[in-house]
Amino acid sequence: MAKEIKVPQISEGVDTAVISEILVSKGDKIEEDQSVISVETDKATAEIPATAGGTIKEIKVSEGDEVSVGDVIIILEDNGDDSEEKEEDESDKEEETSEDNKEEAEKEQEEPDSDEKEKDESKSAKKEEEQKEDKEEDEDEDDEEDAAEEDDEKKKSKGSEAKKDKDTDEDSSKEVYASPGVRRLARELGVNLEEISGSGESGRITEKDVKEYKEGGSKKSSSGQAKLPDFSKWGAVENKPLNNIKKTTAKNVLASWQSIPHVFQFGEADISGVETYIEDHKEKVEEAGGKLTLTAILTKIVATALHKFPTFNASIDMDKEEMILKKYVNINIAVATEDGLLVPVIKNADQKSIKDLSVEISEIAEKAREQKLSKEDMEGGNFSISNLGGIGGTNFTPIVYHPQVAILGISRATTKPVYIDGKFEPRSILPLSLSYDHRLIDGADGAGFMNWLVKALEDPYEALLG
Amino acid sequence: MAKEDRKELVIIGAGPGGYAAAFHAADLGIKVTLIDPEVNPGGVCLYQGCIPSKALLHLAKTKEEAMHASKWGIKFEEPKIDIKKVAGWKEKVVKKLTEGLGQLSEARDIEYIQGKAKFTGEHKLEVTNNKGKTSDLSFEKVIIATGSSAVGLPDLEIDHDKIWDATDALELKEIPKKLLVVGGGYIGLELGSVYAALGTKVSIAEMTPGFLPGTDRDLVKVFEKNEPFKDVFFETKVEEVKITKKGVKVSLKGKKEEQNKKFDRVLVAVGRKPNTQNLGLKKLGISANEKGFLEVDNKRRTKLEHVFAIGDITGEPMLAHKASHEGRITAEVIAGKKGAAYDPKVIPAIVFTNPELAWCGLTEEEAKEKDKNVKVVKFPWSASGRAISIGENTGLTKLLIDKETEVILGGAVAGKNAGSLIPEIALAIEMGSTASDLSLTIHPHPTLSETIMESAELFYGGATHYKKA
């Protein structure tokens, strides 16, 4: 019995993760709380700390493995020598119980008492004996009946021992409730029942569930496309697996695109004034540890707009035929990282100053790029902002991030001649695009929202006038 | 000398596993060769096991019920037992059924070879017929279904005269005055009950502290209330056996004391072992595990693609109905049916004593071991109108139900016809049924099956006829 380090609950609702890096190796001496592996979950990476210290006896996983909460990652060597292994372990456990929390202590009590352990020991000893006998049997196998009968007698105790059949004794972590006929159908169709959430009572899986899953599954696998041709016919190709971030994004944007009837609204704002404002105040913000950017200013403007246009700060529930209006303003900021798109959330953006927002956005973008976002950092957003201005382009149509209902796209500002007071003047013009869910938001609201954003950028006093 | 012949599918052993596989495979269009030492299919189950023992147990039950009726006003005289006639009737039952199987086999164009098979190569075997003549044949695929046989005890050699095995006991050559049954498992209890009904004073010696080791104690308690034995020695080993002219002197070593007893006959029923020896498995390149079983996957395939194994030789429980199921599945696998696989949730087990004991699925002990969140509901038959009207008020029906999902995970019944009640629970478990499914299914009145419905009702509080104090 050696100490084991298991996959902890990484964050709420996240049960599986892919191992991106193993930070230790066999034979290493590690301390408690030292990071041992780094994992990638749907939206973040995290380092997993050791729950105990010691010398690493075995690493049970390798990079790229998918692990679940509770899986053993590492087995630690015991301190004592082998003959005392059991006792060592026992005393270790006792230490743990006295030191650790009560829950641990309760668990300990539920474990089989020492009597049963002894039984186990004697059982394994018996097994060894039997194996020995078995060897003899093998050698004797072709001998005559007499020898076989002797064996019979040797085996008398075994015959009466109840042993459950392997196939029925599978102790799967998840109970699957499906009738024998449905289980057979699943095998015929190559469907894993554990992946299906049954529509019947208590999650019972019906024949219909299996068929629908099969159809849905094959649709999903082809993403609605025709079968892919063999591209290598035309030149060299490289097949690379999608990482978790890409897989999640793909799944989410497809779902958004399929379920949300999008409308796209464009607008242009003269941000010459905003640029001056940024120039004038950027040092102050830098002192505070942030970077004053157009994104930060627009986050503030959008936060204000969401109060004015509450349907943009809502979700739609078609099952209940109602809209859910949110009384808080959390805004997602899209951040491009090496591994793909991440959208961390700025909480209560309406209650924060532009300076605070600048600092927070800088910090969270950094966190995203370093893949240190927690699940909390990415939950609970109401509206998203995607700024591609730093890269370029005149306009784009971002996809609404379900279950939100709108997203603002920012492109690159360019200097354009604007006709003002009888003459052309060079002004900095920012292209904006707004995508929204037409189920909840009408064209008039969309245009109104865009107008207000433009006005707020050009003349905030007027915008705030009402 | 040998002539060679390449067979499509050879099945070794024509017990409930082998013949079920053979019949189904033939129905699926496969040319089948079935090899067994008996004249007709049937195996131990039909010739020396389930069927003859149940025929005799039926007589035992009939007698007991008749005697019991005196309490209710119908008095019979002590019955006269014509043992030859009883044995003849039992033989007739066996003959009728095995001959029937022979006809079913013939009707399917199955090639039936009487003899014993032994592998001589990966695709070859040698059949020795009852006269000792051998012939070779080769095959594409093979199903090994050789079953199991009774095991003896080291100091208790079965001489088939005074020391019997189950087969001897079923032959019914005589009714001994005093019989010691060594082993309190289901075979010992069933055969012990038969002889007790025939008028023998039956004693049981069992190594463990109770009847039917491993079986739900609630069921065993019901049996104990009505057990027909003269003496029962628990935690007792047979130390020494001396065969005398008249009978057998046995010294029984219990926990505290050793006692010497005299019996006319001793029946050894301490268990069964898989028949995986003398099969030439070595020539196939496969071997049995430490318990003598062959390891197979869920298609009942051994590590060799073309070699399958079913029934008692694939592991516990060694039961005919498990073997038959495996046989049919394997036939489908061989016929290329993609979905065919062995994945039962439950294998019901029945002890055909009086009262009968039957169970399936999760047991209370397993639930504790696995730390399952279950609610155990027990419905005593003293609350069942039907049970009382047939004098069966000691019976019990119980269910193990997942507290969270309300799905039925296990069940057990003790009492008359328990064996006929258990399949409903087995079906419920296989279907993933919930307690409400059982409680909302109208059960006919007045029947014992209502006890299952009312057990399910208990899960939700009170049953119509029973309220837990």
- Residue A153 within a domain: no
Last residue of a domain, one of A71, A86, A111: A111
DSSP A394-461: S---PPP-TT--EEEEE---EEEEEEETTEEEEEEEEEEEEEEETTT--HHHHHHHHHHHHHHHH-HH
Unique residue bearing structure tokens 């109104």: A448
Same domain, A450 and A342: yes
- Residue A139 within a domain: no
| CATH number of the domain bearing residue A186 | 4.10.320.10
Query: B322 to chain A: which residues are within 8 Å by CB?
Result: 165
Characterize the bridge pairing of strands B32-36 and B6-12: parallel
Last residue of a domain, one of A111, A134, A160: A111
Q: B172's torsion region: left (phi>0), alpha (psi -120 to 50) or beta?
A: left
Same domain, A352 and A261: yes
Which residues of chain B carry a pLDDT beneath 70? Answer: 1-5, 469
Q: Do B347 and A138 touch (CB under 8 A)?
A: no
Q: Do A153 and B281 touch (CB under 8 A)?
A: no
- Residue A220 within a domain: no
Which amino acid, residue B225? K
Unique residue bearing structure tokens 């569930």: A209
Same domain, A16 and A107: yes
Query: A153 to chain B: which residues are within 8 Å by CB?
Result: 151-154
CB A56 within 8 A of CB A2: no
For A75-126, the pLDDT digits (tens) are 887 654 444 444 444 444 444 444 444 444 444 444 444 444 444 444 444 4
* φ and ψ of A143, to 5 deg: -70, 180
Same domain, A52 and A198: no
- In angstroms, the Cα distances linking B304 to A73, B366, B446 are 34, 33, 53
Q: A192's torsion region: left (phi>0), alpha (psi -120 to 50) or beta?
A: beta
Catalytic annotation on B445?
yes
pLDDT at A406: 97
CB atoms within 10 A of CB A461: 8
Does B446 contact A at CB distance below 8 Å? Answer: no
Which residues of chain A carry a pLDDT beneath 70? Answer: 1-2, 9-14, 42-43, 78-174, 217-227, 466
Segments forming the whole domain that contains residue A191: 180-214
The residue count for chain A: 466
Same domain, A253 and A319: yes
CB atoms within 10 A of CB A69: 13
pLDDT at A83: 41
Selected catalytic residue, list B160, B306, B443, B445:
B445
Same domain, A208 and A312: no
- Residue A175 within a domain: no
pLDDT at A464: 83
| CATH number of the domain bearing residue A278 | 3.30.559.10
Same domain, A328 and A416: yes
Q: Please tell me whether residue B11 adopts helix, strand or coil conformation.
A: strand
- Residue A238 within a domain: no
CA distance B60 to B355: 12
Same domain, A316 and A421: yes
The DSSP element (H or E) to which A267 belongs, if any, is: strand A262-270
Best probe of the A interface among B118, B282, B290, B402, by most A CBs < 10 A, is: B290
Which domains occur in chain B, in start order? 6-149+273-334 (3.50.50.60), 163-270 (3.50.50.60), 349-459 (3.30.390.30)
CA of residue A98 relative to chain centroid, distance: 35
Contacts of B196 (CB under 8 A, 6+ apart): B60, B202, B228, B229
Last residue of a domain, one of A63, A83, A111: A111
CB A34 within 8 A of CB A52: no
Q: Do A156 and B292 touch (CB under 8 A)?
A: no
Same domain, A79 and A189: no
For B39-78, the pLDDT digits (tens) are 999 999 999 999 999 999 999 999 999 998 999 999 999 8
**Range list of H helices, B43-185:** 43-48, 50-68, 83-107, 166-171
- In angstroms, the Cα distances linking A269 to A153, A407, A412, A451, B300 are 96, 17, 11, 9, 73
Structure tokens belonging to residue B120: 């001589």
CB B128 within 8 A of CB B35: no
∠ CA A416-A302-A384, nearest 5°, is: 100
- In chain A, the N- to C-terminal Cα span, in Å, equals 72
Number of structural domains (chain A) is 3
Strands of B237-243's sheet in order across = B237-243, B248-253, B258-263
The Cα of A192 is separated from the nearest Cα of chain B by a number of Å equal to: 12
- In chain B, the N- to C-terminal Cα span, in Å, equals 77
Q: How many Cα neighbours within 13 Å face the side chain of A279?
A: 6
- Residue A148 within a domain: no
Stretch 154-193 of chain B: residues touching chain A, C-beta under 8 Å: 154, 183, 185
- Residue A101 within a domain: yes
Structure tokens belonging to residue B87: 């044995």
Q: Do A168 and B152 touch (CB under 8 A)?
A: no
Same domain, A295 and A364: yes
Q: A203's torsion region: left (phi>0), alpha (psi -120 to 50) or beta?
A: left
**Range list of H helices, A240-379:** 244-259, 272-288, 294-308, 354-369
Q: Which residues of B74-94 are buried (b: 16+ CB within 10 A; e: fewer)?
A: eeeeeeeeeeeebbebbeebb
Same domain, A264 and A203: no
CB B98 within 8 A of CB B46: yes
The Cα of B151 is separated from the nearest Cα of chain A by a number of Å equal to: 6
DSSP B289-310: -TTSPPP--TT-B-SSTTEEE-
Same domain, A257 and A369: yes
Q: Please tell me whether residue B188 adopts helix, strand or coil conformation.
A: helix
- Residue A154 within a domain: no
Query: A145 to chain B: which residues are within 8 Å by CB?
Result: 278
CB pairs under 8 A between A and B: 132
| CATH number of the domain bearing residue A54 | 2.40.50.100
Candidates A360, A353, A187; CA nearest to B340 is: A187
pLDDT at A146: 44
CA distance B145 to B312: 8
Q: Do B405 and A177 touch (CB under 8 A)?
A: yes
Does B39 contact A at CB distance below 8 Å? Answer: no
CA distance A44 to A374: 6
